[in-house]
Structure 1
């Protein structure tokens, strides 16, 4: 429990660590990026810096606090080594979170329990998409976690740390949840960040030389925009980031140039859900990057309809450094696309791929296999459609429903076959299908991947095409695919454990939360804070996933 008025006293009670508080009036803050068990984190043998944590760290540094980042993804560090380093650092406040927050949650739970055992007076703050929505379940079952930050963290964490430092009532901080007298306090949602330029990334928290991606290129993750105007009902990100906003194109281009010239950054991985929403603004960004006259590679994701819309400026994409865009096509069936509210058509997808290839930009198409009940015939149809699309690269995924999305309500009665939350990473089948066993679906998915990546066109693009940048991207993807293939085969048949009589999706995660899809306050009208009498203790979840 973290009594709001006693927060400061609890911190100061640790005589060996209180020098920061009593002499310098700054907080000794440690930010921990936990190691992730997901295939995408472990297989590439390259790591990208944790942008979300750096975004939180920048404002804390500007507020004068002593901030350190422990990136346990590098290595990765063992849990014992992470605990040892945390204890040696002896922070007053520890922030923890991960971009893959659903599948990373069990790791966060294990680590924070060990942190609490070693440092009983440590204040532990947890943030991310998963805890934003599951905060009641988490606070009810994980007493070692003191505060959960809900929604965007830059402004909220800064206000939270200031409240802890001054001993203020934490209920005055919007966008958090915590316990008081055995009950869970949920403060009103924090206002959405209107001006993304108001908060800087704490780049000084990392050594860029330690991070690489895309075949050894020194790399960082950046975010030009947040949010997405489209209504895909399976997306776990749209509601969290709320409406689309963007940074100043000129300032963003100058930051890219600074990273390149000062730190030798060669690759920018855009973390935007959809950076190309506004054609005029995106064109301004491309032109600003071109004007900086730097040689950088930019990869990211966008929508096929934006590519088709921008047919007349795709040459600017390539000149600005765009070498690959992920296109979230999700499915090859028009009826399924309509059901999940994708808002796209297969003909548009194919035209986008053709246009990108015409301008030397690789296309990485994502394909999600089990939105609905599937049969062998469905897989044959999917293979034909994917061959017709003719994308350069293919990434197959399994539907992974989140409680705060509209799709969750549609799938709520389906049974869960994967009870290990660490496997909820889009690369493992987690929901039962009535007509096909998991092994058959797995073989179909791997067969389609092999056909797509080993067909003559793909091989020619990997080894013989004249575009050097495209050859590099294709060869790198082929190497990654080979390692992923062996890893997935081994784990599916010898390590992964599935159940045949699991709970329904709603029993596993709880009632749908799509009515809470946007937790951020995007309106000017403010809601009054809850009084102490209105605070309600959290109910126990119907299925205790922490016992997995």
Structure 2
């Protein structure tokens, strides 16, 4: 089959503000197995430009595809863009099979299949094996009901097949790096970059997380093979920055140490950035020198809150003393810390924000990323927030960087003022500015200056967006806006005791 993979231009601030772009790992991950099955693939990355919708449609149809596959890591806020493009494609070429995958369609398959007749099927959960089986069924004209892990329309409306099994062996499928021109993808201030996954899932129980249930179970790749793949990307394609998409890559200290030691032995000049938990950093205090030698430059630490009661309520499983110690340890080993702090878990007041700011300053992170709480229907947190009022009904704004929920004690403009003030207070305090200007490590100094330049643009962009975007004063409740809670369906796949490795998906020896 001739298959087009489409990465739509995403409306989120994180996509539109940076001059750099990262490759769409999700689409490349299903692209590799499909190529190995003999399909002819083309990737259209609409993020560059960004591309005009008509140009994307024209380029896709020029390939004369037998199917078009959509997917985007932005998921909820990206859905309106995907819906518009899919509709345009269907109008231009009726009957063209359109397949949609990702976190949002995995859980909203009923509504999508009900309201968007141009979508032929939805891939639910991990896509590598499911996409292979779905394309084989479409090619042979076989019944879609025989393909596990999808949703489609049957005679009585939207129908989901049995859940697909969790992929136990992540090395059984390769990433289709040949679909991209590596020279186009830059990060960290113009350095050639890729996105990778060492692991999938997370064993922790944070009740607001929209990713944990999608992956169902934490697993990791073979640490030696993974390290060697990163080394090949550097040697063969000039990749310098490796951005980890993992929620929590460091769960297994044993596997993580093997990965670090193997990458060090490869002797490649890489910059590694990603996310992990503060308690893993504290646990690994004795091997943090290996982190640094392997190339780790920055960790995003999901602190979420500095209030112990809130951390307990959202089942974060962390502690403020651990968060503070993790930041100290990272700095002692020459690794930057970026602390995420989320506004809106509780009905905050001025006093709450002031107390949170003081605690953040005491943590002394190198960088901060402020976010707004954004409930997802398939998470346990949704039931807690179900009766709160929605003030942003444009779903393209549900990207964690826009206020979407009303706060009982404070008007939206007041929440914004605290949000922006906390960012300035943490990022522009004398100690933080001194690191940006005078840090003795040139690489870390470059990293902080790059992030500071981008942060200044985001800071003003968010204020302009707030003034420009209409907010609803008496909006619907969260449950009225999104529908009934769906946390009983949180796990998108099933765990099996044994899983045969698909022959057609074995990675080629020369795959890079």
Give the TM bin, normalised by the shorter chain.
Answer: over 0.9
Q: Residue 479 of structure 2 corresponds to which residue in structure 1?
A: 506
SS of 1:184 mapped into structure 2: strand
Q: Residue 132 of structure 2 corresponds to which residue in structure 1?
A: 158
CA distance in 2, matches of 1:250, 1:162: 32
CA distance in 2, matches of 1:347, 1:524: 38
Say whether 1:315 aligns with 2:319: no
Of 418, 428, 436, the residue aligned with 1:462 is 436
Q: How does 1:100-111 map to 2 (within 5 A)?
A: 100-111=74-85
CA distance in 1, matches of 2:96, 2:318: 49
What is the Cα deviation at residue 441 of structure 1? Answer: 0.3
Q: Residue 537 of structure 1 corresponds to which residue in structure 2?
A: none
What is the Cα deviation at residue 181 of structure 1? Answer: 2.4
Q: How does 1:287-436 map to 2 (within 5 A)?
A: 287-436=261-410
Q: Residue 252 of structure 1 corresponds to which residue in structure 2?
A: 226
Q: Residue 504 of structure 2 corresponds to which residue in structure 1?
A: none
What is the Cα deviation at residue 90 of structure 1? Answer: 2.2
CA distance in 1, matches of 2:481, 2:464: 27
Larger deviation, residues 189-198 vs 469-478: 469-478
Q: Residue 481 of structure 1 corresponds to which residue in structure 2?
A: 455
CA distance in 2, matches of 1:523, 1:514: 21
CA distance in 1, matches of 2:130, 2:160: 13
SS of 1:101 mapped into structure 2: coil
CA distance in 2, matches of 1:225, 1:386: 29
SS of 2:76 mapped into structure 1: helix
SS of 1:103 mapped into structure 2: coil
User: Structure 1: any 5+ residue segments left out of the alignment?
Assistant: 1-26, 527-548
What is the Cα deviation at residue 87 of structure 1? Answer: 2.2
Larger deviation, residues 41-50 vs 87-96: 87-96
Q: Residue 241 of structure 2 corresponds to which residue in structure 1?
A: 267
Question: Structure 1 residue runs of 4+, over 2 Å off?
Answer: 523-526
What is the Cα deviation at residue 471 of structure 1? Answer: 0.5
SS of 1:59 mapped into structure 2: helix
CA distance in 1, matches of 2:123, 2:448: 39
Of 491, 494, 499, the residue aligned with 1:518 is 491
Cα deviation, 1:461-511, whole Å, max 9, x if unaligned, reads 101010112101110110010110111111111x21110111110011111
What is the Cα deviation at residue 512 of structure 1? Answer: 0.5
Q: How does 1:166-245 map to 2 (within 5 A)?
A: 166-245=140-219
User: Structure 2: any 5+ residue segments left out of the alignment?
Assistant: 500-512
Q: How does 1:70-85 map to 2 (within 5 A)?
A: 70-85=44-59
Q: Residue 414 of structure 2 corresponds to which residue in structure 1?
A: 440
CA distance in 1, matches of 2:143, 2:61: 28
What is the Cα deviation at residue 80 of structure 1? Answer: 1.6
Q: Residue 496 of structure 1 corresponds to which residue in structure 2?
A: 469
Structure 1 length-normalised TM: 0.90
Q: Residue 452 of structure 1 corresponds to which residue in structure 2?
A: 426
CA distance in 1, matches of 2:493, 2:193: 31
What is the Cα deviation at residue 523 of structure 1? Answer: 3.6
Structure 2 length-normalised TM: 0.97
SS of 2:78 mapped into structure 1: helix
Cα deviation, 1:291-312, whole Å, max 9, x if unaligned, reads 0000000000000000000000
Cα deviation, 1:75-111, whole Å, max 9, x if unaligned, reads 2101121112122222110000100010000000110
* Total equivalences in the alignment: 499
